[in-house]
Amino acid sequence: MVRSMSLLWMMVVFWWLVAADDMLYKDRNQPVAARVKDLLGRMTMEEKIGQMVQIERISATPDIMRHYFIGSLLSGGGSVPNPHATVVDWVNMVNEFQNGSLSTRLGIPMIYGIDAVHGHNNVINATIFPHNIGLGATRQVKGFSAATAAEVRATGIPYAFAPCIAVCRDPRWGRCYESYSEDTDIVQSMTDIILGLQGEIPKGSRLGVPYVAGKNKVAACAKHFVADGGTTHGIDENNTVTNEHELLSIHMPPYYDSIIKGVSTVMVSYSSLNGQRMHANGDLITGYLKDKLNFKGFVISDWEGIDRITSPPHSNYTYSVLASISAGIDMVMVPNNYIEFINDLTFLVKNKFIPMDRIDDAVSRILRVKFTMGLFENPLADFSMVNEVGSQEHREIAREAVRKSLVLLKNGKTADDPMLPLPKMSSKVLVAGSHADNLGYQCGGWTIGWQGFSGNENTTGTTILNGIKSAVDPNTEISYMEDPNPEFIKSNNFSYAIVVVGEHPYTEMFGDSSNLTIADPGPNIITNVCGNVKCVVVIISGRPVVVEPYMSVIDALIAAWLPGTEGQGVADVLFGDHGFTGKLSRTWFRTVDQLPMNIGDAHYDPLFPFGFGLTTTSVTERSISGGISRRPLVLVILVSVFITLGLSHRYVA
């Protein structure tokens, strides 16, 4: 009897140990490394390969997530649950897919990614911040990125494909506005966006290990590795020709900072480096990023990025799979032909073209990020943060970012006769230009749709025109006409004019430009208006554009970049509620024939140099300092004496 009880007790203990061991990867109190090792040891090859796949939400269903063990989903530009999706719609959609993943044998949650590159820009009514080129002019980024993280997480999404840390060396590149600067030091400093998105890394954390602070933060993605901002003639996805010194001193340093700051993922560039496609560059992806820089997060491809290894794309897909995975890419953004990818990768592993160790490395990295960010503990989103999207607090942060991003390039025909700040009280003011009352134009690409939009109907915000109307005195008459003729201008006796023109929205290769001109009818508007009334010109653009031909007629010139939804921030500075503080993060060329031209070049002859920006004080600051300085010193002393005598007399009495 005693022996039987002992055997029974041993069986119970053994069962308990097995059960405890079975739950090891689900135990949040275990070290991440132990959880990864435990889960990896339980996975079949099919489950491992599934984790390496990221597909577009349009191609996914909960059953597909379950059947193919898909590790990740994404929304491409403009890919939404429905055309008028609310925050609740987003949460419900993500959770529906997640439930498919959780119903698999091991219950590994998927990670959902999205291009939140200047706010949660796919989502209606979200706060849209200035694009990176504008943020580079502020030299500040943390408040913006923390607000973005909150809005992204509010929709149930835990992964943002940001920041872009390209060092754009040629403004002809259609993605130049996604770069903070032509200057490596500025781009390095702006990697603080990672701390805003993911949270401040704890003291003593191991360098290179991904870190996400919790349910209110998102995994970040440093992109596009590497040298995408240096392509020949600024052509998107083109070849960057450089030597090792330039690569390591100009393009690579922002990745050092990103890794130190705990970035979770790195996305590979479409571009080539000295003729080799980056998606197949094992020397840099594995040899440098993973081995030398000791990056422990996962490396993800760009959209159909491995297809572009061959020319034409997808012409030898099995080779593309072999080359990209062997080079060190861990997760592949397929995004539609996932069955082909899975079949090809399975074939390559089974036939030992790709060793199982390479698959285990990739999956370990993916699982490490998922464990680190708490995805196993909190795989499903709730509705507790829905009010974060487009909140007034975030709009105020964006408005401040707009104010600080504006760069004042000219202020008056002479230094002794400044035009700005503008008086709020005037009899009649003309506002002109195609960009003055167009929310889509002032937001630029990557807004609601992939290529952006035109008009004021697609989301919520304040146009520059409405910001002006709110800023001026109620008795000031604002007259808006997009393209006024000279006769109209002359006959209305305007006090001054504000002209808002620039580029139309674009994204990626659709923005490549060899002429960098202001979109028609912008040049004619500048000439007609500024030739007939005192004017300030506000340029809305993703980069410096041709302005030298118009400088003689312009009284004041402002680079407003792509400010986003909070156009009131432009009016705040125009009328002196706040001063101009922004500094050029890019060289402003005279003619496109000078390009590429960057600070430090031997033949540096810009219209406005890197770092240039006139400053002004706010009306309040000016009135205080100016009021005191205009009083004669003797008068001040006399008044002080009389007051003192008076006070003494009263005290004695």
In a domain, residue 640? The reply is no
Residue among 302, 330, 437, 503 flagged as catalytic: 302
Clarify whether residues 356 and 465 are in a common domain. no
pLDDT at 637 over 60: no
pLDDT digits over 151-160, tens only? 999 999 999 9
pLDDT at 370 over 70: yes
Provide the domain count of the chain: 2
Clarify whether residues 353 and 456 are in a common domain. no
Clarify whether residues 369 and 416 are in a common domain. no
pLDDT band, very low/low/confident/very high, at 625 (cuts 50, 70, 90):
low
What pLDDT score does 23 carry? 82
Query: In terms of DSSP bridges, do strands 72-75 and 111-114 run parallel, antiparallel, or are they unpaired?
Result: parallel
- Burial of 402: CB neighbours in 10 Å, binned 0-12, 13-18, 19+: buried
Clarify whether residues 334 and 472 are in a common domain. no
Clarify whether residues 80 and 191 are in a common domain. yes
Clarify whether residues 451 and 345 are in a common domain. no
pTM confidence score: 0.92
Residue among 508, 555, 566, 572 flagged as catalytic: 508
pLDDT digits over 78-132, tens only? 999 999 999 999 999 999 999 999 999 999 999 999 999 999 999 999 999 999 9
What pLDDT score does 415 carry? 83
Clarify whether residues 353 and 468 are in a common domain. no
Poorest-confidence range of 205-219, 353-367, 580-594? 205-219
What pLDDT score does 204 carry? 86
Q: Which of 332, 352, 373 is the last residue of a domain?
A: 373
In a domain, residue 173? The reply is yes
- Nearest-5° Cα angle at 29, 23 to 33: 80
| Residue 554, token pair as written in the block | 């312009």
Domain extent at residue 149: 32-373
pLDDT band, very low/low/confident/very high, at 141 (cuts 50, 70, 90):
confident
What percent of the chain stands above pLDDT 90?
89
pLDDT digits over 371-428, tens only? 999 999 999 999 999 999 999 999 999 999 999 999 999 999 988 899 999 999 999 9
Q: Residue 383's CB: how many other CB atoms inside 10 A?
A: 12
In a domain, residue 395? The reply is no
Average pLDDT over residues 537-548: 98
Clarify whether residues 434 and 350 are in a common domain. no
Clarify whether residues 454 and 363 are in a common domain. no
In a domain, residue 235? The reply is yes
In a domain, residue 4? The reply is no
In a domain, residue 650? The reply is no
pLDDT digits over 640-650, tens only? 433 333 433 33
Distance CA 547, CA 309 (A): 39
User: Mean pLDDT, the chain, as a whole number?
Assistant: 93
What percent of the chain stands above pLDDT 70?
91
593 an active-site residue?
no
Amino acid letter, 442: Q
- 473's enclosing H/E stretch is none
What pLDDT score does 650 carry? 35
Q: Which of 326, 358, 373 is the last residue of a domain?
A: 373
377 an active-site residue?
no
CATH number at residue 169: 3.20.20.300
Clarify whether residues 353 and 461 are in a common domain. no
Average pLDDT over residues 277-303: 98
pLDDT band, very low/low/confident/very high, at 623 (cuts 50, 70, 90):
low
In a domain, residue 548? The reply is yes
User: What does the buried/exposed string (b/e) look like for 604-617 if buried means 16 or more CB atoms within 10 Å of the residue's CB?
Assistant: eebbbebebbbebb
User: What does the buried/exposed string (b/e) look like for 460-497 if buried means 16 or more CB atoms within 10 Å of the residue's CB?
Assistant: ebbbbbbbbbebbeeebebebbbbbeeebbeeeebbbb
Average pLDDT over residues 526-549: 98
| Residue 339, token pair as written in the block | 């069955």
How many CA within 13 A on the CB side of residue 641?
6
Clarify whether residues 326 and 420 are in a common domain. no
Query: What are the φ/ψ torsions at residue 553 (nearest 5 degrees)?
Result: -95, -15
In a domain, residue 652? The reply is no
Distance CA 68, CA 195 (A): 34
Distance CA 343, CA 366 (A): 20
Clarify whether residues 363 and 418 are in a common domain. no
pLDDT digits over 176-232, tens only? 999 999 999 999 999 999 999 999 999 988 888 999 999 999 999 999 999 999 999
Q: Which of 357, 373, 389 is the last residue of a domain?
A: 373
Beta-ladder partners of 501: 539
pLDDT digits over 26-60, tens only? 999 999 999 999 999 999 999 999 999 999 999 99
Amino acid letter, 276: Q
